[in-house]
């Protein structure tokens, strides 16, 4: 029998924690909310609040160390997404965009290019705001990922 996936959330700036809880609870999945600043505790017995040491990559390191094939990670952090994919996990951004083996290289390259642009030009770049459409896309994508893991397939 296949084990149920755990869901790992890079929680410090994640705008979809409530949505993750709702969908994961419906499926009876354990959620690890990992942060270095603390997240408001929930009475939900499926939620594990993980507080890591301060540091730029402490939460990422914890997730990358604990996640395994078949688990799901929710993060906007592209290097963390790459690390989770290497472990065989599935990865979603909070806007519902799946990171895959096919698109992670381009995502990493774009991130590096934007970082270089910010450093070389002193230009600040901005991410688009989070919209109700993003929330809806995330809910659909998370449900699809859970179903895919349960059916042991890759979309």
User: Would you tell me the crossing angle of helices 58-66 and 78-86 to the nearest 10 degrees?
Assistant: 20
Exposure on the CB side of residue 84, measured as CA atoms within 13 A? 33
Q: Please compute the mean of the pLDDT values over residues 8-35 and round it to a whole number.
A: 95
Contact indicator for 36, 20 with CB cutoff of 8 Å: no
In a domain, 2, yes or no: no
How much is the pLDDT for 14? 92
In a domain, 25, yes or no: yes
Kindly state the tokens that stand for 119: 């450093």
Q: What is the pLDDT of residue 155?
A: 47
Total domains present in the chain:
1
CATH number at residue 96: 3.40.50
Residue 135 domain-assigned (yes or no): yes
Q: What does the buried/exposed string (b/e) look like for 86-107 if buried means 16 or more CB atoms within 10 Å of the residue's CB?
A: ebebbbbbbbbbbbeeeebeeb
pLDDT tens-place string over residues 68-111? 999 999 999 999 999 999 999 999 999 999 999 987 777 767 65
96 falls within a domain: yes
Which residue in 122, 126, 94 sits closest to 7, CA to CA?
Answer: 94
In a domain, 155, yes or no: no
In a domain, 104, yes or no: yes
Give domain status of residue 1, yes or no: no
Q: Which residue has the higher pLDDT, 55 or 76?
A: 76
pLDDT at 117: 62
Domain that holds residue 109: 7-150
pLDDT for position 125: 62
pLDDT in the model for residue 56: 79
């Amino acid at each position: 029998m296949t084990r149920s996936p755990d869901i790992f959330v890079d929680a410090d700036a994640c705008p979809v924690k409530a949505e993750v809880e709702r969908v994961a609870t419906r499926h009876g999945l354990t959620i690890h909310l990992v942060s270095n600043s603390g997240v408001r505790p929930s009475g939900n017995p499926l939620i594990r609040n993980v507080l890591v040491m301060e540091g730029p990559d402490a939460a990422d390191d914890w997730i990358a160390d604990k996640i395994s094939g078949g688990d799901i990670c929710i993060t906007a952090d592209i290097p963390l997404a790459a690390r989770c994919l290497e472990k065989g996990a599935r990865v979603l951004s909070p806007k519902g965009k799946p990171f895959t083996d096919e698109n992670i290289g381009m995502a990493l390259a774009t991130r590096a290019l934007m970082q270089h642009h910010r450093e070389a030009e002193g230009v600040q770049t901005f991410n688009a705001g989070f919209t109700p459409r993003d929330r809806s896309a995330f809910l659909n994508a998370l449900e699809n990922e859970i179903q895919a893991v349960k059916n042991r397939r890759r979309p």
